[in-house]
Amino acid sequence: MTAGDLGNHRRASAAVRCGLHYARRMPSARNALQGKRLHFGEATLILVTAMLFTAASSAIAFATKVGCTTTEPGAKREWLFGGRYDVVPCYSDLFTMWHGRGLSEHVFPYIHGGITPDGNLFGGVVEYPVLSGLIMWFSALGADTDGEFLWHSLLVLAPFAFITTILLALLTRWWVLLWAATPPIALYALHNWELPVVCAAVAGIAVMAWGCSADPTTGVRRWSVRTTAIVAAIPLGIGFSLKIYPGLFVLPLMLYVLTRGEAADRRGADRPRALDWLGAGYVALSAIVTVAATQLPFMIAGFEGWKAAIDFQTKREANLSTNSIYYWGLRFLTGGETPAYASIVDVASPLLIIVSFAVACFLGWRAYQRDGVFPWLGVSAAMLAGFMVFHKVHSPQYTLWILPFFVLLRVRWWLIALYLLADLVLDLTIFHLLLNYSATTRTWVLVGVNFGVWVHAIVLLVLIVAFVNARPREPLASYLSGTLPPPGPLTRLAQADSSGAAAWLGSPTLANQQVTLRPLALADAEALGTVAGEPDLYQWTTGVPHDTDSALAWIRTALADPHRVAFAVLDADGRLVGSTSFYEVDEASRSLAIGYTFYGPATMGTAVNPAAKLLLCDYAFTVCDAVRVVWHTHVQNARSRAAIAKLGAVYEGELRKHRRFRGGWRTTAQYAIVDDDWPASRERLEDRLAPV
């Protein structure tokens, strides 16, 4: 016989000896303990849900583009084509790069190319930083048609979307669905090569979260402020070599290290901290070394081709295809795309971008002086917003850049909704405009484009300020402050359930020859309301119901208490004669109290109460492995104290002002039986119940 079998045998023997039985629907102690566990962890649920949405969005992105591809090697369509009533006309930067940048010939980028005087790239040069060009070239390997290139690109780019989803899920829990379940991934996953750069930016933030987070075993920060920022600068430097913008975040990261990080690191509230210039320099050096490691090989192997990508961007004009505020605003003041218009844009765009960066850093510095913490994440997002609104190019796919910051920071919901609505409207109208930009262009197209451009611009201007003042979402906020995060909503619910009395004790039905105890239910209200006799019999017990309404209130209160399991007490004839409860149930301490007990006058002094206590105590000690059962009663309630003492409970003293009682306070007499006492107490109760 195993130890487990022996334990079960002993429990069964005790049940037979006491003449009691437990209904089959009563959970065993082991099952009650297992009931508190999450069988499907919240983190797993979040990740699976978010990954499924990401997969669906990526599949939609592919489905909307694959119909635009060709199946014959060398076949080529117009760079933009579609019918008048197409929701999304056929366009993707992937196709234009395939046919126009040497990808179809599998030319290694930058090494052998350059730019012509009129601004045309040749020899494998693409107009993006070197790592984006390398990803394009890699995606083209083995492809002979633009359709195959699209498929290869999906296989290369989708992992970046999934990695971003995983990181955002770990940093913000369910807020990740703003990234995974909104339209931008479906619209832009295969529109351009934005997913790797977004992944690099989020990875830098994730490194900061990991390094700043508290080690759950020690409670202290995992890495120093310097080390964390130096490591985080590496993915940001990689992002710079993908699409530039993550490199912007190095500046606020340097300011964060310069001010020595979180307020908890302050050396004294009465004096300012010394600025960590050396640490800030290390962060800059880390980013510079990373950028140099990715850029120098291309610069050395083909400087002209490497430089051509930069020259292309400097020569790019703010025309119809750029969706910028300059084209839809300044152009009308200069009489069109005149030389004056081009000159103003070339000066205003970089100048306003620099001003927006300065404003973001200034606001961040003010927040640091106010709160003691430089909000590097909010300043990073604000700088990105300034870059997007004032740059002379504002491609729709840039929404993927800013979307993670909507997830990470507590931005007002209506700003997020307005931005995403404007983005959707812009994407569904701009390509119709490019297909038919003439006097006959339908009004709804022009209105849609202008709505998208100007709503984007206004929201981005608001976000320059809002981002700086926005707090990170949980658990990111706790990670960045070096504290342990609060549990997620589903985990909190599970913990509340697991800490409830029923998680340990279950809801058993207990019976012996004298009484049956079953879970109290609202349907018992009418019968329970007729049990109690004259109020004088219950002068030491408050709240005893005397009618159906008060009984309903009694039962509702009992059922709403998570630390109480209430029973209806039935006599041998099946009549409801009273109620009793387990309460103050503490599974961690393996202790509980028995109380809230009252009976009708005819039941008092009979075998009902000792029989009920035998059932309750034997269940608590023998089945649920309790170590302590407690009774509380008014210190002046001599009848109740005598009844408790007859159970074998040991008097432990008085608890002064223990509970509210009839407008004042009650001194409570406390009694208890512990597991060591239970065998002797059980024999005493069995003897009392034995037939004479």
pLDDT 10s digits, 386-418: 999 999 989 899 999 999 999 999 999 999 999
**How far are the Cα atoms of 355, 378, 380 from residue 360, in angstroms, in the given order?**
9, 9, 8
How long a stretch of residues is the chain? 692
CATH fold of 3-26+507-689 reads: Aminopeptidase (3.40.630)
Q: Can you tell me whether residue 569 is helix, strand or coil?
A: strand
Site of tokens 């004032």: 390
Q: How confident is the model at residue 26 (pLDDT cuts 50, 70, 90)?
A: very low
Q: Give pLDDT tens digits for 260-319.
A: 987 644 444 444 568 999 999 999 999 999 999 999 999 999 999 999 989 888 888 888
The answer to whether 524 touches 568, Cβ cutoff 8 Å, is yes
pLDDT, greater one: 520 or 691 = 520
Q: Give pLDDT tens digits for 64-79.
A: 999 888 888 877 776 6
Closest CA relative to residue 57, chosen from 177, 222, 212: 177
Query: Taking the CB of residue 598, how many other CB atoms lie within 10 A of it?
Result: 23
What is the distance between the alpha carbons of residues 25 and 31, in angstroms, rounded to a whole number?
A: 11
Q: How confident is the model at residue 30 (pLDDT cuts 50, 70, 90)?
A: very low
Domain ranges of the chain: 3-26+507-689
What is the distance between the alpha carbons of residues 643 and 70, in angstroms, rounded to a whole number?
A: 91
The answer to whether 129 touches 240, Cβ cutoff 8 Å, is yes
The answer to whether 334 touches 342, Cβ cutoff 8 Å, is no
Mean pLDDT score of the chain: 88
Q: How confident is the model at residue 18 (pLDDT cuts 50, 70, 90)?
A: very low
Chain centroid offset of residue 273 CA:
34
What is the distance between the alpha carbons of residues 517 and 632, in angstroms, rounded to a whole number?
A: 21
Ordered DSSP codes for 328-371: IIIHHHTTSS-HHHHHHHHHHHHHHHHHHHHHHHHHHHHHHHHH
Q: How confident is the model at residue 5 (pLDDT cuts 50, 70, 90)?
A: very low
What is the distance between the alpha carbons of residues 284 and 288, in angstroms, rounded to a whole number?
A: 6
| pTM for this prediction | 0.75
3-state secondary structure 17-47: HHCCEECCCCCCHHHHHHCCCCCCCHHHHHH
What is the distance between the alpha carbons of residues 485 and 209, in angstroms, rounded to a whole number?
A: 12
Lowest mean pLDDT among 129-138, 145-154, 263-272, 572-581: 263-272
CA geometry: angle 30, 35, 37, nearest 5 deg: 110
**How far are the Cα atoms of 34, 324, 505, 624, 628 from residue 31, in angstroms, in the given order?**
5, 63, 10, 10, 21
Say if residue 50's pLDDT is above 90: yes
Query: Taking the CB of residue 325, how many other CB atoms lie within 10 A of it?
Result: 24
Say which residues have a Cβ less than 8 Å from residue 26's Cβ, sequence separation at least 6. 506, 507, 508, 509, 510
Quote the pLDDT of residue 14: 40
Percent of the chain residues past pLDDT 90, beyond the cut: 66
Say which residues have a Cβ less than 8 Å from residue 316's Cβ, sequence separation at least 6. 322, 392, 393
pLDDT, greater one: 105 or 163 = 163
Say if residue 117's pLDDT is above 50: yes
352-375 mean pLDDT? 95
Q: Which two tokens stand for residue 138?
A: 């890699």
Closest CA relative to residue 483, chosen from 682, 306, 155, 221: 221
Helix or strand run (H / E) with residue 424: helix 413-435
What is the distance between the alpha carbons of residues 489 and 26, in angstroms, rounded to a whole number?
A: 29
Q: How confident is the model at residue 137 (pLDDT cuts 50, 70, 90)?
A: very high
User: 428 φ, ψ to 5°?
Assistant: -85, -5
The answer to whether 525 touches 54, Cβ cutoff 8 Å, is no
Radius of gyration, CA atoms only, the chain = 36
3-state secondary structure 431-471: HHHHHCCCCCCCHHHHHHHHHHHHHHHHHHHHHHHHHHHCC
The answer to whether 242 touches 196, Cβ cutoff 8 Å, is yes
**Which amino acid, 56?**
A
What is the distance between the alpha carbons of residues 330 and 181, in angstroms, rounded to a whole number?
A: 36
Q: How confident is the model at residue 659 (pLDDT cuts 50, 70, 90)?
A: confident
Q: Give pLDDT tens digits for 451-469.
A: 999 999 999 999 999 999 9
Tell me the longest C-alpha to C-alpha distance in the chain: 116
The answer to whether 536 touches 552, Cβ cutoff 8 Å, is no
Quote the pLDDT of residue 87: 75
The answer to whether 344 touches 330, Cβ cutoff 8 Å, is yes
pLDDT, greater one: 692 or 26 = 692
